C-alpha cells in the first residue's frame, strides 16, 4: 500500500460506488457523458472488466448497470443522422474480441445496441474518434496490435468496416483521439506515448510524445484522456503513470506538446488517495455542478475514508475538478 502518488497534490471531490466484483482487478476505464442541450445532466461510465458496464451519477451513485461480461475500455461519440442524433458508446469486449455497443435512453439508461467483430490478440484498449468517413472505433489488442473500423448503421444493424491495422510494438492499452487535430495518441505501457494520425491513410507513421521510464512517466503507462479547456480553448492530454500513481499533463496542438506537470490525488475531503490507477477520462466545460470540467480516474485500491489501511479489495472511480488541477499545476 502507498499513501499517495508522487505528483503535485490535488483532492477528489467525489467518488463512485465500488464496482460489484470485489477482491479482483475489476474496475478499469471511465468515460464522461454530458447532455449538449442541458449540461447539468451528466454521467460517468465505468467498466467492471469482470462483469459489465456501469453508469454513475455525478454524486457517485449507480444509475444503471448492464451485466455484459468482461469489458475493458469505454468511449463515446455523438452520431448524427437524418432523423436526429444519439450517443453511441463502445466498449472493448475481451470475450468476443471486438466492440460491444450501447446507447443511452432518454432517462439515461444503458441500452445494448449490437457488437462489431474487430479481431486482435485480445480486445484491450479502445477509443473512438471522427475521420473524413465518419465515426471510427479503434481497438488495441493486448499484444499491441491495432485495428480500426468505420462505424455505420445498416438495415440489419451496426456495421464496422475495417480500414487499418498496425502494430505498436508491445503491450498497449490507453488511447484517445483529438477530433480537432486528427491526432491519435496511444500509450505503449513500457515505452511511453506515441502520436499517430487517426486517418487510415496515415498508416503506422508515428512520433513519440514522451518516453518511459522517465521522470514524467513510470511504467506502466495506462490511460489517456483529452480535455478542451473552455476558458482558453486549449487542449490538454492527461496520461496515467501507474508505476508512481501520478498523472502527467501536456498542452497539445497537432504536432506540438507542451509539458505542464504532474499531479496525484491525495487523501482528503473524506476520500482515500488514487493509487495504481488504470483508466482516466476528462471533459472540459460545464459537467453537472463542475463549471470548468472534471477528470475521472480509476482507483485500484479504494478504501473507506482517507487512511490507506487494509488489503486491496475493491476498485472505484474518483472525480477531480479540472479547476483544482489547473490551480495545482499553475495552468493559466
Distance CA 143, CA 224 (A): 18
Q: Over the stretch 139-178, which tens digit does the pLDDT of each residue have?
A: 999 999 999 999 999 988 999 999 999 999 999 999 999 9
Q: Which residue shows C-alpha cell 461519440?
A: 77
Average pLDDT in the 194-216 region?
98
Please say whether the dihedral angle defined by the alpha carbons of residues 180, 297, 188 and 6, taken in this order, is positive or negative.
Answer: positive
**Is the separation of the CB atoms in 171 and 182 below 8 Å?**
no
Instruction: Please give the span between the terminal C-alpha atoms of the chain, in angstroms, as a whole number.
Output: 34
Instruction: Enumerate residues 6+ apart whose C-beta is below 8 A from 51.
Output: 19, 20, 21, 26, 67, 68, 69, 70
Q: Over the stretch 8-37, which tens digit does the pLDDT of each residue have?
A: 999 999 999 999 998 889 999 999 999 999
Instruction: Enumerate residues 6+ apart whose C-beta is below 8 A from 94.
Output: 49, 70, 71, 72, 122, 123, 124
Percentage of the chain modeled with pLDDT above 90? 92
Distance CA 138, CA 140 (A): 7
pLDDT (0 to 100) of residue 46: 98
Which helix (H) or strand (E) element contains residue 6?
none
> Please, what are the domains in the chain?
8-329 (2.120.10.30)
Q: Which three cell numbers stand for residue 260?
A: 505542464
* pTM greater than 0.95 (yes/no): yes
pLDDT (0 to 100) of residue 307: 84
Q: Over the stretch 67-116, which tens digit does the pLDDT of each residue have?
A: 999 999 999 999 988 778 999 999 999 999 999 999 999 999 999 999 99
Amino acid at each position: 500500500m502507498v499513501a499517495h502518488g508522487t505528483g503535485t497534490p490535488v483532492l477528489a471531490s467525489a467518488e463512485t460506488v465500488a464496482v460489484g466484483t470485489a477482491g479482483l482487478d475489476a474496475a478499469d476505464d471511465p468515460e464522461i457523458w454530458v447532455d449538449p442541450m442541458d449540461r447539468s445532466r451528466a454521467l460517468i461510465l465505468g467498466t467492471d472488466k469482470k462483469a459489465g458496464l456501469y453508469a454513475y451519477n455525478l454524486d457517485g451513485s449507480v444509475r444503471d448497470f448492464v451485466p455484459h461480461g468482461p469489458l475493458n475500455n469505454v468511449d463515446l461519440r455523438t452520431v448524427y443522422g437524418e432523423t436526429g442524433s444519439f450517443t453511441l458508446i463502445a466498449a472493448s469486449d475481451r470475450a468476443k474480441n471486438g466492440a460491444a455497443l450501447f446507447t443511452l435512453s432518454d432517462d439515461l439508461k444503458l441500452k445494448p445496441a449490437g457488437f462489431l467483430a474487430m479481431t486482435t490478440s485480445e480486445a484491450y484498449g479502445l477509443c473512438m474518434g471522427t475521420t473524413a468517413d465518419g465515426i471510427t472505433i479503434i481497438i488495441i489488442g493486448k499484444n499491441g496490435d491495432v485495428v480500426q473500423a468505420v462505424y455505420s448503421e445498416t438495415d440489419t444493424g451496426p456495421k464496422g468496416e475495417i480500414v487499418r491495422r498496425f502494430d505498436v510494438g508491445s503491450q498497449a492499452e490507453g488511447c484517445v483521439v483529438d477530433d480537432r487535430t486528427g491526432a491519435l495518441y496511444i500509450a505503449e505501457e513500457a515505452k511511453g506515448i506515441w502520436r499517430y494520425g487517426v486517418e487510415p491513410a496515415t498508416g503506422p507513421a508515428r512520433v513519440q510524445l514522451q518516453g518511459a521510464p522517465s521522470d514524467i512517466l513510470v511504467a506502466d503507462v495506462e490511460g489517456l484522456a483529452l480535455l478542451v479547456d473552455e476558458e482558453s480553448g486549449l487542449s490538454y492530454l492527461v496520461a496515467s503513470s501507474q508505476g508512481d500513481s501520478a498523472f502527467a499533463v501536456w498542452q497539445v496542438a497537432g504536432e506540438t506538446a507542451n509539458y505542464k506537470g504532474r499531479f496525484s490525488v491525495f487523501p482528503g475531503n473524506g476520500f482515500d488517495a488514487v493509487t495504481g490507477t488504470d483508466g482516466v477520462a476528462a471533459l472540459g466545460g460545464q459537467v453537472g455542478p463542475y463549471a470548468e470540467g472534471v477528470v475521472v480516474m480509476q482507483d485500484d485500491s479504494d478504501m473507506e475514508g482517507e487512511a490507506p489501511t487494509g488489503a486491496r479489495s475493491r476498485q472505484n472511480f474518483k472525480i477531480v475538478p479540472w479547476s483544482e488541477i489547473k490551480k495545482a499545476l499553475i495552468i493559466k
